[in-house]
Homo-oligomer: A and B are copies of this chain.
Amino acid sequence: MRIAIDAMGGDHAPGVVVEGAVAAAKEYKDVELTLVGDKARIEPLLTEQLPNLHIMHASEVIEADDEPVKAVRRKKDASMVVAGRLVKEGAADAMISAGNTGALMTTGLLIVGRIPGIDRPALAPMIPTLDGVGVLALDLGANMDATPEHLLQYAIMGSIYRSKVHGIERPRVGLLNIGTEAMKGNELTKAAYPLLEGAPIHFVGNIESRDILQAECDVIVCDGFAGNIMLKTLEGTASVIFSALKTEFTRSTLTKLSAAILKPGLAAFKNKFDYTEHGAAPLLGLGGLVLKSHGSSDANAFKNAVRQARTALQNNLVGAIAVEIKNGK
């Protein structure tokens, strides 16, 4: 299994990327890792030589504020684009990047390319749930608008991912909606509902956004706009409440003491809302495996992304999706 890692992507690149790759190369001997990026910056960070860890030089970097399509088209020697090309050409089986999300989606679409029959690849991060397991949500922003047929493909791809990568035997697939009854929703969800009912998945019906944290399904399907609204509201609300708690806790010596007693329990709870703990998000529907790591990923997150890619490759995730989509046509 050959995995290309965009060494220049993410808030703390290339330092933590290299560190994570070294740790992964040591632990997963059956994986060949290639760090793609500025050789002059990567080499000094390599604390040790490992037989399964390589460097491929790339002279350019896509920045966080680059316009995605323009950047991918113009910066042909950007680390992210080069990694995508390795996947496209079969020189790598998967790529991992913590860089510009839009640019990575463009790299997936323009460089790696779609699985035949897939209309729109989808970004599928895990949303934290109260039980600590999380729900795979797609699409979370690769495509703002979706048709009922797109939602059907998202459902099939998400279900296969949860089964192949997380070992869930019969993943419960829900449709993000404003009510639980079958005929609730907008034109999109009303038309998607019967398609999902007829799909080769374990469809559990509509899921209301207020219940998203209750882990009532393993996969939640939505258009990119609604999904983004949901995720950002969740993040915003949690962040506002936690910072208000902090303010209350530090109001006086007495409240500080009280807070100290409550802290361990609260910290454990707060960690459930930590998105970086939930692994990299796959871009599903591409002809090769592409994983998006969180921009603020640390070395451990990169190591975990390698493990995630390894599991997906061992279980032939992309092949399984291709077969299912072909069968459905």
Q: Which residues of B contact A225 (CB under 8 A)?
A: 178, 185-186, 189, 226
Separation of A313 and B244 alpha carbons in the complex (Å): 38
CB distance from A94 to the nearest CB of B (A): 28
With A186-B225, A237-B234, A265-B255 already in contact, the answer to whether A141 and B178 are too (CB < 8 A) is: yes
Interface range, A side: 35 or more
Query: Which residues of A246-291 are within 8 A (CB) of B?
Result: 248-249, 251, 254-255, 257-259, 261-262, 265-266, 269
Question: Does A245 have its Cβ within 8 Å of any Cβ on chain B?
Answer: yes
**Contact between chains at A236 and B209 (CB < 8 Å):** yes
CB distance from A129 to the nearest CB of B (A): 10
Question: Does A1 have its Cβ within 8 Å of any Cβ on chain B?
Answer: no
Query: Which residues of A170-191 are within 8 A (CB) of B?
Result: 176, 178, 185-187, 189
Separation of A238 and B234 alpha carbons in the complex (Å): 9
CB distance from A241 to the nearest CB of B (A): 5
Pick the interface stretch among A17-25, A117-125, A210-218.
A210-218
**Contact between chains at A212 and B236 (CB < 8 Å):** yes
Question: Does A228 have its Cβ within 8 Å of any Cβ on chain B?
Answer: yes
Most chain B C-beta atoms within 10 Å of own C-beta, residue among A214, A241, A248: A241
**Contact between chains at A176 and B229 (CB < 8 Å):** yes
**Contact between chains at A232 and B208 (CB < 8 Å):** yes
Q: Which residues of B contact A248 (CB under 8 A)?
A: 262, 265-266, 269
CB distance from A10 to the nearest CB of B (A): 20
**Contact between chains at B144 and A232 (CB < 8 Å):** no
Separation of A258 and B245 alpha carbons in the complex (Å): 13
Question: Does A324 have its Cβ within 8 Å of any Cβ on chain B?
Answer: no
**Contact between chains at A144 and B229 (CB < 8 Å):** no
**Contact between chains at B226 and A213 (CB < 8 Å):** no
Separation of A130 and B210 alpha carbons in the complex (Å): 20
Q: Which residues of B contact A233 (CB under 8 A)?
A: 209-210, 212, 229-230, 233-234, 237
**Contact between chains at A238 and B236 (CB < 8 Å):** no
Question: Does A40 have its Cβ within 8 Å of any Cβ on chain B?
Answer: no
Q: Of B237, B254, B258, B269, which contacts A237 at CB under 8 A?
A: B237
Q: Which residues of B contact A261 (CB under 8 A)?
A: 254-255, 258
Question: Does A145 have its Cβ within 8 Å of any Cβ on chain B?
Answer: yes
Separation of A233 and B208 alpha carbons in the complex (Å): 8
**Contact between chains at B265 and A236 (CB < 8 Å):** no
Question: Does A30 have its Cβ within 8 Å of any Cβ on chain B?
Answer: no
Provide the A46-79 mask, 1 if CB < 8 A to any CB of B, else 0.
0000000000000000000000000000000000
Q: Which residues of B contact A255 (CB under 8 A)?
A: 261-262, 265
**Contact between chains at B240 and A144 (CB < 8 Å):** no
Nearest-neighbor residue (CB-CB) of A251 within chain B = B265
Question: Does A89 have its Cβ within 8 Å of any Cβ on chain B?
Answer: no
> Which 3 pairs between the two chains have the least Cβ-Cβ distance?
A210-B236, A258-B258, A144-B186
Since A130-B244, A210-B239 are in contact, a sample of 14 more A-B pairs with Cβ atoms closer than 8 Å, ordered by chain A residue number, is A130-B240, A178-B232, A186-B223, A186-B224, A208-B232, A209-B229, A209-B232, A229-B229, A229-B230, A233-B237, A237-B238, A237-B241, A238-B241, A255-B261
